[in-house]
Amino acid sequence: MTSHVGRHAVLAAGGTGGHMFPAQSLAEELLRRGWRVTLASDARGMRYAEGFPEAVARQQLHAATMARGGITAKLAAPVTLLRGVLQARQWMKADPPDVVIGFGGYPAAPSMAAAISLGIPRLIHEQNNVLGRANRLFVKRVQMLACGIGVPHNTPGGVRAVEVGNPVRDAALAVSGRDYAPPGDGPVRLLVFGGSQGASVLSEMLPPALSFLPDALRARINVTQQARSLEVVPLEENYAAADITQVEAAPFFDDMPERIANAHLVIARAGASTCAELAIIGRPSILIPLPTAMSDHQSANAAWLAEAGASVVAPQPGLTPEALGREIAALLGNPARLSAMANAAKAAGRSDAAMRLADMVEEVERGRNNGTPKQ
């Protein structure tokens, strides 16, 4: 039988980068402190596991949501979730965690429910200023709530909430010291990405938007764009039709922090991790919040950077390629403003967020012997 040594943390995270990247950052920090770390998610979440350090163990669980799919999927979801809870209970009994940390998303639910049933200390990290569905479900049953962007406005009374910021990956911290240099006479580097949801509108809008740039500027544009796999070839063809010839398009870039650092301007959705990395690295941006995001939380994320002077927010409803193109041209034609936005982003960043969150984990772990966790 395997001997388990050292403090053990389970990170329960959903299947999007917004949930997984902060979990990865905490994993990196806890490993530095000598903890053992296990990532618990479903098959969708495990697609992001490659970015985690090899020392992080993986536990793939059954998970499902009643918020998506047809009637059959909705009826099957509770059974699937129950299977996931039973799975989590089984391996938590075999290798008991000292703390379970939930990062939201329905794949986090089985581990959080198992931790409650076994009396294991637990906390939640909420990336946005609105509690997501899974975190809302468990927030009254945890010892602490760690907040990424302010205390969520729908936090119930009596919950101990502490703002720590949104942890970013080591790869983002590694390039955070790189100074911003506004575009000169050479190539102008645009980075465009939409996260795991809603990137199609960016693929549709950017090529015609860039066709509105002045000819001399358009000739120097170099675009790197994340696009869904079926959209890559049409996207490249649409850029060619707009006389944009320097284009790199792909469904995924595993070096996104490096690409953010190299960009003169970033055009993106406003997921919490995106905003946190833009701030840590210090790059100007145009943010187009996903209009279907729950409780419109991406608009709140974008407002955080806009109020700091680091970003321009372009709400998708009513946004036209011409309006977007003119905004891009106005920014790229004003190097002083771009530099000021980069500095403002940098000032808003929280480089110690992972350390602060790890401190909370250790506080919850120390407190397990000072009282009975909430059941």
Tell me whether domains 8-168+351-367 and 173-348 share a fold: yes
The arithmetic mean of pLDDT across residues 251-255, rounded, is: 90
Tens of pLDDT, residues 283-292: 999 999 999 8
pLDDT at 295 over 90: no
What pLDDT does 2 receive? 45
> What DSSP string runs through 330-347?
HHHT-HHHHHHHHHHHHH
% residues pLDDT > 90 (the chain): 78
Q: Is the pLDDT of residue 199 over 80?
A: no
pLDDT at 1: 36
- How confident is the model at residue 329, as a pLDDT? 97
Per-residue pLDDT band at 375 (split at 50, 70, 90): very low
Q: What is the pLDDT of residue 75?
A: 62
Q: Is the dihedral of CA 90, 93, 97, 100 positive or negative?
A: positive
Q: What is the CATH number assigned to the segment(s) 8-168+351-367?
A: 3.40.50.2000
Q: pLDDT-derived band of residue 374, with 50, 70 and 90 as boundaries?
A: very low
| Beta pairing partners, 101 | 11, 123
CA dist., res. 150 & res. 164, Å (int): 9
Q: Is the pLDDT of residue 360 over 50?
A: yes
CATH hierarchy code of domain 173-348 = 3.40.50.2000
Q: Is the pLDDT of residue 68 over 50?
A: yes
Sheet holding 246-250, edge to edge: 246-250, 221-226, 188-193, 265-268, 285-287, 311-313
Query: Where are the domains positioned within the chain?
Result: 8-168+351-367, 173-348
Q: What is the mean pLDDT of the chain?
A: 91
Mean pLDDT to the nearest integer, 103-120: 94
pTM: predicted TM-score of the whole model, two decimal places: 0.86
Higher pLDDT, 316 or 74: 316
Instruction: Answer yes or no: is pLDDT of 198 > 60.
Output: no
DSSP string computed for 256-304: HHHHHHH-SEEEE---HHHHHHHHHHT--EEE---TTSGGGHHHHHHHH
Which residues are CB-neighbours of 302 under 8 A, at least 6 positions away?
270, 275, 287, 289, 311, 313
Residue 247 in this model has a pLDDT that exceeds 80:
yes
Rounded to an integer, the average pLDDT of 254-267 is 96
